[in-house]
Amino acid sequence: MKCFHLSGCERGGYDGDGVLTVPRIGRFSLSRSQSVASSTSEAKLSAPNSGGSGAGPFSGRELGRRLEELRVFGIDELRAATKGFSRALVIGEGGFGCVYRGVIRVPGDKDGKTMDVAVKQLSKGGTQGHKEWITEVNFLGVLSHPHLVKLIGYCAEDDERGIQRLLVYELMRNKSLDDHLLSRVSTILPWPLRLKVALGAARGLAYLHEGMESQLIFRDFKTSNILLDKDFNAKLSDFGLVREGPIEDDGHVSTAVVGTIGYAAPEYLETGRLTSKSDVWSFGVVLYELITGRRSLDRNLPKSEQKLLRWVRPYAADPKKFHLIVDPRLAGEYCTKSAQALAALADRCLQRQPRSRPKMSEVVEILTGIIEASDVDFSVAPGRGGAAAASAAAEPSSQRQAYSVGESTPHRARSSTPFLYRSWWTMGLFDACRPAH
């Protein structure tokens, strides 16, 4: 699925000297020496309010120091790390160019210890341009959170091919959520891990929206930008389209419309007005992708099922038909009530009016409640997609049968818990779980 640009460059962004200014966050100046400039701003970034340890409070000078601590790689070093940018080491490819798996030396280690990394090389003809590359360095270079991918360093160096622009990240061994949902890997992502991924991604977005004094809007939240580490912890990646949000809580940013078809909020597409609630809409789309195992837009499906949000609408609110939209590759191994609760949360995120959508901190709280009420086991390992899973995936949605999950896993069959009664009644998420009077 491709990103789109519906208009030209965004307003502002570059000054007359070719410097991309990121207000109150930091500044990266691309001169021939590729130096990292410290911000003179005294803005403070606060510890995240969304759970987990974050960057903690630090001033503009500290932001500059963090940028300076980014490792600067030479093109020869990264060429060696990727065995000459071998096609055999490509782990991702897109409009920006290619991502390679590489091995670099751990700085300062006397024993020559190495570490695996991901090396993203920006192609000259790629759709992701120089501005996005700088934006990525600006933001990921200073932000630190368990659910944001770590930027280790960068390379911007002349060689015989011109200026080479590369970024070096921590290696995310379990690839992207998109890879798992679209069966690019041989394992099936089980229901407990889908909930874990949803919560981790929500925490990452909540940190960007509410965990700092300066709000950041992701603008391109989608499954391919949710990477999974060896323990299936979700981390947001690809910050090239990140934009600083409005200062006022009820304000917006007017900007060129960019993003990915199928994920962008309708008010953003129609007016170019961007708020954090635009990301919340995108998060709702991803929740339905987790439930269904389908992408937001799939031209290979029958016409009535190509647009995910339109297809799920008649089923999501009907308990008797809900099973028809659940990913058949799960083979019935999911908690029905948590899946229905996830769909109800997705519907709240997908409200037409942005103000009616929850904040991401509220989404984190709701997801935490769903997980606690479901009593899920995050240690469940992904399963292999055998013939049964393939057959189920190929079966038309109208012919699928409901599975009695509770019979094989008694703890999932609980109709209610004290937590549900206390937290969910007012939202109508668990009306079926109300105690009998």
Q: Is 337 in contact with 323 (CB distance < 8 Å)? A: no
Neighbouring C-alpha atoms within 13 Å toward the C-beta of 87: 0
CA 97 to chain centre: 19
Characterise 71 by phi-psi region: left (phi > 0), alpha (psi -120 to 50), beta (else): beta
Q: Is residue 120 a known part of a binding site?
A: yes
Largest separation between any pair of C-alpha atoms in the chain: 78
- Cβ atoms of 30 and 164 within 8 Å: the answer is no
Query: Which phi and psi angles does 317 have, rounded to 5°?
Result: -90, 0
Note if 347 is an active site residue: no
Annotated active-site residue in 179, 220, 327, 347? 220
Q: What angle do CA 272, 44, 156 make, to 5 degrees?
A: 70
Residue 297 has phi, psi (to 5 degrees) of -145, 120
**Tokens describing residue 344:** 């109800």
Strand partners, 70: none
Rounded-to-integer distance, Cα 282 and Cα 50, Å: 18
291: its two tokens: 């439930």
Report the binding-site residues.
120
Report the binding-site residues for ATP.
120
List residues with catalytic annotation.
Answer: 220
